[in-house]
Amino acid sequence: MRRLLIIALTCGGLLWAQSAGAPSKPDSGRAPITIRFKPLPRELLQQRLSLIRKTSPERQFVLEGLLSTSGCGIKRLEVKDHEPNVVCSLAGSSEKVIVLGAHYDHATKGDGAVDNWSGSALLPSIYDSMKDLKLRHTIVFVGFSAEEKGLLGSKAYVTSLAPDERRKISAMVNLDTLGLSSTKVWSNRASPLLVNSLAAVAQALKLPLEPINVDAKGASADSEPFFTADIPAITIHSVTMDTWNILHTSRDTLEQVKLNDYYETYRLITGYLIFLDQLLDAEPVPGGAGPS
Ligand SMILES: [Zn+2]
């Protein structure tokens, strides 16, 4: 039996998180935000992790299969000299969009289980967890290609957007390197509103969250091309200074993924997307453009 998760947050809760411990008066002018979803069984997440493949074309094939089997119709976006980005979406009632991305390629050494099959294998599970909800934003799921070659897939994605398409993106949430430890957020290269919202959701769901910035290690992530294009963006990860040296080595195998941490990260991200969908501006299109 799956547990139904129902949490009501008020705007006051968010303000509380923003002011780091100083409770403020709830904003009575705004309806509470409700986070309500059925978490998938952890065995399903584990099974999807176990479908890891060695090469990028094989990973693309598996990711497309998982997403399309769940009902997310695949489109491919060309990335020059590399596999395409894998794109599919869940329609909302407004023109606004939230992009959820994770790269599916990996570095030459190791299996790339943590970096980043952990993130890409979560896309179909988050789709499954949200597909029966009435959403305001269209959620666009993107498996990025060629991140390890210099963010080529995410750069191609942002470049492909017309100016009005960029303006429709309320947020870009990037998943990279999950399950090494409890959930971490790269907070100094992210929109403050997105970071504060994630902290508020973690607090409401009683799930751990810590800010760990990895740019000092020379890292970059697929949120960066969005961030530099003035699209609010955030990267969620699980790397600590102790586990950093696992990445891009032969130690990056499935055994490194701690299933308990990974499952908590999945629940936090799903709750977070449901929260952002209600928090961020998205006026319904008159006549209704989305699903009924
Ligand atoms: Zn990565």
DSSP class of residue 117 equals I
Cα-to-centroid distance, 95 and ligand 1 (Å): 30
32 vs 58, more confident: 58
pLDDT tens by residue, 146-190: 999 999 999 999 999 999 999 999 999 999 999 999 999 999 999
Q: Which helix (H) or strand (E) holds 236?
A: strand 233-237
> Which pLDDT band holds residue 5 (cuts at 50, 70, 90)?
low
Give 12 Cα–ligand 1 centroid separation in angstroms: 35
| Distance from Cα 204 to the centre of ligand 1, integer Å | 28
In the predicted model, is pLDDT for residue 12 greater than 50? no
Q: Ligand 1 centre from 256 Cα, in Å?
A: 15
Res. 231: pLDDT tops 80 = yes
Distance 138 CA to ligand 1 centre (A): 25
Indicate if the alpha-carbon torsion angle 162, 163, 169, 173 is positive or negative.
Answer: positive
Tell me, in angstroms, the distance from the centre of ligand 1 to residue 44's CA: 23
Distance 115 CA to ligand 1 centre (A): 5
What is the distance in A from the centroid of ligand 1 to the CA of 248? 9
Percent of the chain with pLDDT over 70: 86
According to the model, what pLDDT value does residue 1 have? 41
* Cα of 258 from ligand 1 centre, angstroms: 17
Cα 110 to ligand 1 centre (Å): 13
pLDDT above 60 for 288? no
The rounded Å distance from CA 13 to ligand 1 centre is 32
Position 13 pLDDT exceeds 80: no
Query: How large is the angle between the packed helices 123-130 and 56-70, nearest 10 degrees?
Result: 10
For residue 4, report the distance from its CA to the centre of ligand 1, in Å: 32
Q: How far is the CA of 182 from the centre of ligand 1 (A)?
A: 17
Show me where the domains of the chain are located: 46-279
**From ligand 1's centre to the CA of 221, what distance in Å?**
7
CA of 106 to the centre of ligand 1 (A): 7
| Average pLDDT of the chain to the nearest whole number | 89
pLDDT digits 0-9 by tens, 89-138 = 999 999 999 999 999 999 999 999 999 999 999 999 999 999 999 999 99
Task: Provide the CATH number for the domain formed by 46-279 in this structure.
Answer: 3.40.630.10
Residue 2 scores a pLDDT above 60? no
| In the predicted structure, residue 86 carries a pLDDT above the cut 50 | yes
- Would you say residue 27 has pLDDT above 60? no
* Cα-to-centroid distance, 237 and ligand 1 (Å): 9
Query: How far are the Cα atoms of 92, 165, 244, 269, 276 from residue 237, in angstroms, in the given order?
Result: 26, 27, 11, 11, 18
Sign of the CA dihedral running 209, 239, 144, 46: negative
Report CA(214)–ligand 1 centroid distance (Å).
12
pLDDT of residue 214: 87
Amino acid at 229: A
CA of 282 from ligand 1 middle (Å) equals: 30
Q: pLDDT tens digits for 185-212?
A: 999 999 999 999 999 999 999 999 999 9
pLDDT (average), residues 277-289: 72
Cα(68) to centroid(ligand 1), Å: 23
99 CA distance to ligand 1 middle (Å): 17
Place of tokens 């973690």: 202
What distance in angstroms lies between residue 217's CA and the mean position of ligand 1's atoms? 13
pTM of this structure: 0.90
Alpha carbons 90 and 95: distance in angstroms, whole number = 12
